[in-house]
Amino acid sequence: MSSSSERDGAGQGNTAYGRKRFKRSRSHFADRITAAGEDGWPVEAGRYRLVVSRACPWANRTLISRRLLGLEPAISVGVTDPIQDDRSWRFTLDPGDRDPVLGIRFLSEAYDARETGYPGGVSVPAVVDVPSGRLVTNDFQQITLDFATEWTALHRDGAPDLYPEALRDEIDEVMEGVYRDVNNGVYRAGFATAQDEYEDAYHDVFRRLDELSARLAGQRYLVGETITEADIRLFTTLVRFDPVYQGHFKCNRNKLADDPVLWAYARDLYQTPGFGDTVDFDHIKRHYYEVHTGINPTGIVPAGPDLSGWLAPHHREQLGGRPFGDGTPPGPPPEAERIPAAGQP
């Protein structure tokens, strides 16, 4: 999670949100970890550490993919504090305020180890090479695709095919519209600095959500009969919609819960192993409302919404479909990674 206004002054960058035109930064470090290791980074169990913020939708994608594919033993995860300081993402949730594997206090240290004086944003998700402490990639669009297609030798038995070759053209088309108008659209609305800029983004968000609602009225998943990468990418925005985007980002035509199709679809995924068990509503709310001081200067975190509805019956199984295809659901998350379910202590 990064914008073009961030660098080692996440404080400065976050204060600028809502005062400076928003532009999504491109991933500067786009090396890939592949089975053949073409970029010098071969797939290897235990070699890499995935650094995430549970607040970040882009990072949430990687946590879901990792869980569904059973990559927990192959790539460890480091979780940053949802509240940044002026040096951006920090490991203050860990003993001694250091990541226990990388030994660093701030994610920026891994960026600096890769490129001294790098002028861009310090973003999550990020994959770090453990032996060297160097950042490998922060390419949030590619990391999960590579998890699905390049890390297959380390997938669990029964792992689903999240990016089936026969459906890739359709998945890519759906994901492109979801990214432009929904994933990124809510940010364009939330960080807009002019009325027309905001309204353009607002209309894009709800036009696309209406199209997706119509598409999902007659099918359980976005593409095909099983969960794919497209569902992962839409879910991470939908699950944040009512707690954050509807109010904080002024995407307030209606709540997600007011759309019976999208609300049921989101609940269906949330209740599917690998999805809801990666969602930390506390981290989500505290990050957006406390960090984005440019649009919420008081730093007050709303008490609502009521989250218990996420566990209500959704009845989407009546549309058919098999969540994991010929595969099986993942087992429970590792004890150290467990998060209370919505509405639970």
Task: Look up 187 and say whether it is catalytic.
Answer: yes
Name, in order, each residue with C-beta under 8 angstroms of 196's C-beta and a sequence gap of 6 or more. none
Task: Look up 245 and say whether it is catalytic.
Answer: no
Say which of 163, 187, 265, 270 is annotated catalytic. Answer: 187
Say which of 48, 56, 163, 221 is annotated catalytic. Answer: 56
For the chain, give percent helix, strand, coil, nearest 5. Answer: 40, 10, 50
DSSP class of 5: T
Contact between 295 and 190 (Cβ < 8 Å): yes
How far apart are the C-alpha atoms of 17 and 187, rounded to whole Å?
10
- Written as one string, the DSSP assignment of 18-87 is TTB---BPP-S-B---BSS-TTS-B--TTTEEEEE-TT-HHHHHHHHHHHHHT-TTTSEEEE--SS-BTT
Looking from the CA of 206 toward its CB, the CA atoms found within 13 Å total 17
Nearest to 235 by CA among 211, 187, 204, 271: 271
| Active site (catalytic) residues | 56, 187
